[in-house]
Structure 1
């Protein structure tokens, strides 16, 4: 069975779009678990009313509330603990499924030791633009588990988390390693899964619309950061430190992880527009000293030239 875990926090203006999008697929054999991280708005009431009306269409549907705010990882962990499915799909309470996406995702139920990666449609409410984002294709090339782990360690997060779903064993085999990380449930999980020999499969379709708005935890570069967004930056630094200390990571990948740590540190210490502008240029200079980052920059420039 497929378990969809929708993690919410103060998303009363968005969560109905998320929930209603599930009804555009066959969901009779799908479990829906909505977790709320102590929202201070009406998100829980909105979700409860919706489940009362539509819950009968699912194999199981419920809202799981918390007694204290635990962040994205804890909220996601809470939802998985309450679920029973062998295939897990997480989604934020401000994103939504494309029509028919759940029908396609369900077809992968029963395959173990695998992370499935779909494309994502990014809907930017700040610019009124829409684009299809794809996962980094290098991750799906034939390679050993060590090579894949080092690729992730050197390049960074190569998977679009909103479009990813995975067999339950992926979470169970690495979830304990996320201790101390509050808001990043994806990158370190992918890295640890690669080390353990899990498979990464591109499924070749767009499953989710990712909404960009003013309150995303991944903040716009020049916006004043909230406490949660600063905590997210700290988590990024923690993850990169952990990767740089991993005995199985190559020296070049360790160097790249440390460069990302320094970049995050400089950025997090910049509090106004001028300071952040200076910091961004400093980060670019620092990161150009990283061979892996420089190679990626050249590849992106080449892709843009070809697409002109």
Structure 2
């Protein structure tokens, strides 16, 4: 018997995108699925659009609206509670999915009982679904069609290559794994997924389909836009999380502390840029000084390294008036 797949879609004010997403999910070649949309107290037409799909697809598309915004982790956990399937996809309401994705993911989990979850790679696109770049993760540059990831692979990719190659909105996870780990940590913000994949990988392996089977839409309303925002004032939560994680092991401290210090130094330069854009010379000087103390940035990141090496007053003027 074919397993039931629960496609869970956490959403908030996604009226501009969710119809396109639902079209690609209802067109999947794997037909034994339920689609559950968890609306985090939207104020736009999201409810109207999703309920119209529910009527057209004999109730396969289910919708509920939270009375208050539960945050991303809280919404995901509620979706997991509602899910009846053996495997749970948490897909996003602004992305586009290849019609064969779910079928390929199910095959991998069915044939690999030790695999806890399966992902795919993605193509970054803009609002109009135009390709942004041809970026490939280092982990993606492999001839194998199915890649297997363990905990150290994930740390290595994240820290040494500065790449989070487990793309959340392509995930399919065994429901029993979510239940075993207690779901997403509602105390976290921006790194809920990173924490979940880390906790899974500390006990199990994850597979990745080595193909771009989703279009990952980049826009200013998505949560991950926080990282590139010129209004960000604090170190990336992902770097803080990794720093606390490697402290748990002397081996990982020895392997990754130097490189993680460089990532922190790079991010401090990015924060200094934000200060320069706001003409805050004092904060800019403090952040550049902190970056230099943290770690000398290598020539590989030459744009950041130059800012470190120039006199502060010169680099400030270059950034401010370029």
Q: If the TM-score is normalised by the length of the shorter chain, which range does it land in?
A: 0.7 to 0.9
- Asked if residue 161 in structure 1 is aligned to residue 168 in structure 2, the reply is yes
Q: Secondary structure at the match of 1:250?
A: helix
- Asked if the contact 1:86–1:167 (Cα under 8 Å) also holds between the matched residues in 2, the reply is yes
- Structure 1: state its 5+ residue gaps: 299-308
2:217 to 180, 194, 211: 211
Normalising by structure 1, report the TM-score: 0.73
Shift in alpha-carbon separation, 1:235–1:144, aligned structure 2, 3 A? closer
Q: Show the counterpart of 1:192.
A: 199
Within the candidate set 115, 124, 128, 2:117 is matched to 115
Does the Cα contact within 8 Å between 2:227 and 2:236 map onto a contact in 1? no
Q: 1:30 Cα deviation (Å)?
A: 0.7
Task: Give yes or no for the alignment of 1:239 onto 2:246.
Answer: no
What pairs with 1:61-100 in structure 2 (closer than 5 Å)? 61-100=61-100
Which residue of structure 2 aligns with residue 13 of structure 1?
Answer: 16
| Deviation readout 1:206-235 (Å, 9 max, x if unpaired) | 32111112322222877554xxx889x764
CA separation of 1:159 and 1:230: change in aligned 2, threshold 3 A: farther
Alpha-carbon distance in structure 1 between the residues aligned to 2:116 and 2:22: 26
Structure 1 CA distance for aligned equivalents of residues 108 and 194 of structure 2: 22
Q: Which residue of 2 aligns with 1:273?
A: 277
Offset of residue 95 of structure 1: 0.8
**Residue in 2 that maps onto 1:48:** 51
The answer to whether the 8 A contact 1:175-1:189 is kept is no
C-alpha distance in structure 2 between counterparts of 1:49 and 1:259, whole Å: 50
Provide the TM-score with structure 2 as the length reference.
0.71
- Could you give the per-residue CA deviations for residues 134-173 of structure 1, whole angstroms, max 9, x where no partner exists? 4542899999956336425634523222333232344334
Residues 31, 134 of structure 1: CA spacing in aligned structure 2 closer, same or farther, 3 A cutoff?
farther
**Contact conserved, 1:126 with 1:214, CA < 8 A, in 2?**
no
Q: CA deviation at 1:12?
A: 0.6
Shift of 1:181: 0.9
CA contact (8 A) 1:222 1:273 kept: no
Residues 128, 32 of structure 1: alpha-carbon distance in 2 compared, 3 angstrom cutoff:
closer
Cα distance in 1 for residues equivalent to 2:77 and 2:184: 12
Q: Is the 8 A contact 1:2 1:109 kept in 2?
A: no
Q: Distance in 2 between matches of 1:190 and 1:159?
A: 8
Residue 306 (structure 1) aligns with: none
Do 2:190 and 2:224's aligned partners in 1 also have CA atoms closer than 8 Å?
Answer: no
Match of 1:253 in 2: 256
2:126 maps to which of 124, 127, 133:
124
Give the direction of change, closer, same or farther, for the CA distance of 1:295–1:166 in structure 2 (3 Å limit).
farther
The 1-side partners of 2:212 and 2:119 are apart by: 9
Say if 1:90 and 1:165, in contact at 8 Å, map to a contact too. yes
Question: Larger radius of gyration, structure 1 or 2?
Answer: 2
When structure 1 is superposed on structure 2, of 100-109 and 61-70 the one drifting more is 100-109
Partner of residue 208, structure 2: 202
Tell me the alpha carbon deviations over residues 62-96 of structure 1, each in whole angstroms, 9 at most, x when there is no partner.
Answer: 11322221222221111111102222211111112
Aligned-residue CA RMSD (Å):
4.2
Task: Tell me the number of residue pairs that the alignment of Structure 1 and Structure 2 aligns.
Answer: 287
Q: Match for residue 151 of structure 1?
A: 156
1:121–1:208 Cα contact (<8 Å) kept: yes
**Which shows bigger deviation, 169-178 or 86-95?**
169-178
234 and 64 in structure 1: CA distance in 2 versus 1, 3 angstrom threshold: farther
